[in-house]
Structure 1
Amino acid sequence: MTLKELNEKRGTLVAQAREALDAIKKNTDDARAAELDARHDAIMADFDKIEATIAREERMTAAEARLNARADEERRNRRPNGSDTEQRGQDEGEALEYRHVFHKFIASGGDHASLSGEERAILRAGIASKDVEKRIQTAGTTTAGGYTVPVELENVIIESMKAWGPMYDEDICTVMSTASGNQINLPTVDDTGVPAVKHTEGTALTDDGGSDATFGQKRLDAYMYDTEFVRFSYELAQDSIFNMENLLGGLLGKRLGRIANNELTVGDGTGDPNGIVTASSLGKTAAAVAAVTYDEIIDLVHSVDPAYRQSPKVRFMFNDLTLGALRKLKDGDGRYIWTMGDVQTGVPGNIIGYRYSINQAMANLATGNKTMIFGDFGAYFVRKVGSPVIGVLRERFWPDLGIAGLIRFDGELGDTAAVKHLIQA
């Protein structure tokens, strides 16, 4: 199904969902209302699938456009001496690639005589260029070398990480990007419990230190996570219709995204980030083991101080199964507390007027689980050290190749009063 067809189907589903919702509100027959309720849920499930498919298609289209543009630039850079003159093998749109020339050079035992003049020029240009794969000697073994994948993969990785979890998204949390992993200290102060007092004329001001500000400190480190090596054969790299480095790099980017989102959500703060759910304070305890009521959601919202509720980054967060339960909740007048967004204008859905984020790292509705959080997510600090790194090693696994990913980050809630959680009984 094309992107245009997907968008048309999405619009049709929205219209059908609205029709079903209106019918539910008008209908007084319980059996018919239940039937319409089930139909509405089925339509919205289809709507969510279409939304996810459209989002993936749009991200893939954007990524492919960047990769194609980068490939064009690399082909120009790989021509000897930066010449615009077409070289052998380019008559039908084909261009000699640095990595193919390099493989031929290694397979011949490092014999330059095995290369044509054009291939030798491409090899020299590739070594000198900043835009192609770079050679990196490891500290432990001087004979082992590594090669990074093309630069454009980095943006694809970051997009994959955002898609797999909201906690790595700078639009949701407060992100601090640093070049090094040195410890960062965040000064904190909570002055909300210290009042001002009425002054009596002619009376000296109290000076006993009882109203002094009390400061604290939160700490951000740089924890490292890796994907382990994934090996693939020389034959697969040559014969596959896909660029295996880019394909595997994208998959490893998603792995990094999942671990980053998981740790920033439920990390225990001991040798790991202090996840936002872990760091949040209690706002409401639900009465039921595996259900939430409208009144309990209201209590959770009002457990957070109004000052935080006015933040541009205030929102709910829960997993998709919890959202499914919330979609069925109604207020005292029989109106659903979930409000459908407008896909045409980009307005997101909301719960009682507040935005929400789906986070699959959060727990399901079950005994003792923290199933929902609410508050000012701008108070949660995500520290990113550089960018995620995907490395391809060639000589170490020769003739096979190996690819792995690394990421460094940390997270901490600056003010535990800013985000509250609801826990099941």
Structure 2
Amino acid sequence: MTQMINSRKARGLVAVRADAGSDVKALIADLNKDWSEFKATMADKDKELAKKFDDVVTTEKLDRINSSVGDLQKAVDAANIKIAAMSVGAGGDKPVKDREYSDAFMAHVRRGDIQASLNKGTDPEGGYLAPIEWDRTVTDKLKLVSPMRQIASVQTISTAGYSKLYNLRGTTSGWVGEKAARPETNTPTFGSMTFTPGEIYANPAATQAMLDDAQINLESWLADEVQTEFAYQEGQAFISGDGTNKPAGFLTFITGAANAAKNPLGAIEIKTTASGTAITADEMLELVYLLPSVYTAGAGWVMNRTTQGVIRKLKDGQGNYLWQPSYVAGQPAQIAGYPVTEMSGMPDIALSATPIAFGDFARGYLIVDRAGVRVLRDPYTNKPYVMFYTTKRVGGGVNDPQTIKVLKMKAS
């Protein structure tokens, strides 16, 4: 097994297949083969530990297989994204609704030309409002590559902010006789929360010669460059952003965190582990049962790849592994029967850290997109490159804290 893994790493099998378009069935077959070997090696390790003997060779072998399983699962996830991207089509074959304006936008990208008659795309600062088709392309790509956008709700707005009204209940009732008086009962109260977009930007560059001679689809190229930067910035903010000129991350809404009192429905409930450095299977299952059953149908796990490697070793009371790999194309890995979304920005397992979240993020977290993308063409700052300063206003915050639970490591 050791030779097989070393050979696989040497040949870059995972990377080669992923870059080549990923034969998903072959990847899944390799993944499940390695998963079987992982379980067999873990059984050997359990026998050693039962005898109070820890063979370093078995430990190293287990770690290598665990890493290989993680690599293959990541490759399967990447292949699933590519399949989804192909179904979206990035807008390339979609009919253009506003051909005149789209052509003018491309002329602006290539040469900086702006037609005065198309002033809906200009402003006094020299910005250029991207056409709807391009805006949709960026949005579609972001949904594919941004983990939070895959599981959260997204609201597009055309104003400076979005306010949500919450019913805080409070209605009372009472039993009365047939002829008894009906005194007034308490009425419900309401609370509100405003989701204010911050501005996110990307600044890709191309030489003027490339723009003049390019046979590529410039819209697609620019969209790819923009979504790479946007996805990175968003990914961090949706998890731990402080809400100042950026989204408020969901981890800032947990009990005791900076935004714990911001949502009228309260803070996200936490479960604290018994250890500051280890997580048990029971604690994972208890987190599931901490979530009200009305929200479990759409629930899933959020954690980073390192944490998944730790959870992969956990078993329930019947000896079954909590983590299970993908078995068919389009299916993510699962823990205790619920899908796992890998978010690299989630904390690692450490004292006082919050490495795992579980819940229905479609109900729990709201992303707010301010409609419209602006592109400022700058051929002067970095000659011979033409910079495309691209901005979009994005906000986010916890919509319903009752639908998300977080596992927090013990402080010491």
Is contact 2:147-2:235 (8 Å) kept?
Answer: yes
TM-score scaled by structure 1? 0.70
Alignment identity in percent?
21
Deviation for aligned residue 1:336: 0.6
Q: Distance in 2 between matches of 1:5 and 1:410?
A: 34
Deviation for aligned residue 1:283: 2.1
| 1:253 paired residue number | 227
Q: Decide which moves more: 379-388 or 356-365.
A: 379-388
The one-letter amino acid paired with 1:360 is S
- 2:251 is equivalent to residue 277 of structure 1: yes
Gaps of 5+ in 2: 1-15, 49-54, 255-267
Deviation for aligned residue 1:360: 1.6
Gaps of 5+ in 1: 79-97, 107-122
Deviation for aligned residue 1:338: 1.1
- 2:317 is equivalent to residue 332 of structure 1: yes
Q: Deviations over 1:314-334 (max 9, x none)?
A: 222111211111111112232
Q: Distance in 2 between matches of 1:399 and 1:39?
A: 47
Q: Distance in 2 between matches of 1:206 and 1:324?
A: 62
SS in 2 for 1:226: strand
- 2:273 is equivalent to residue 286 of structure 1: yes
Q: Decide which moves more: 250-259 or 154-163.
A: 154-163
| 1:188 paired residue number | 166
Q: Distance in 2 between matches of 1:300 and 1:314?
A: 12
The one-letter amino acid paired with 2:164 is L
How many residues align? The count is 368
| 1:110 paired residue number | none
2:350 to 328, 350, 366: 366
TM-score scaled by structure 2? 0.72
Residues 1:206 and 1:270: Cα distance change in structure 2 (over 3 Å): farther
- 2:306 is equivalent to residue 306 of structure 1: no
Residues 1:353 and 1:65: Cα distance change in structure 2 (over 3 Å): closer
Is contact 2:198-2:246 (8 Å) kept?
Answer: yes
Larger Rg: 1
Is contact 1:188-1:414 (8 Å) kept?
Answer: no
SS in 2 for 1:217: strand
Is contact 1:13-1:43 (8 Å) kept?
Answer: no
- 2:145 is equivalent to residue 164 of structure 1: yes
Q: Distance in 1 between matches of 2:301 and 2:181?
A: 44
Is contact 2:134-2:219 (8 Å) kept?
Answer: no
- 2:152 is equivalent to residue 173 of structure 1: yes
Deviation for aligned residue 1:347: 3.7
Q: Distance in 1 between matches of 2:22 and 2:154?
A: 37
1:20 to 31, 37, 45: 37
SS in 2 for 1:370: coil
SS in 2 for 1:329: coil
The one-letter amino acid paired with 1:254 is T
SS in 2 for 1:417: helix
| 2:364 paired residue number | 379
Deviation for aligned residue 1:62: 6.0
Deviation for aligned residue 1:43: 4.2
SS in 1 for 2:402: coil
- 2:66 is equivalent to residue 41 of structure 1: yes
| 1:119 paired residue number | none
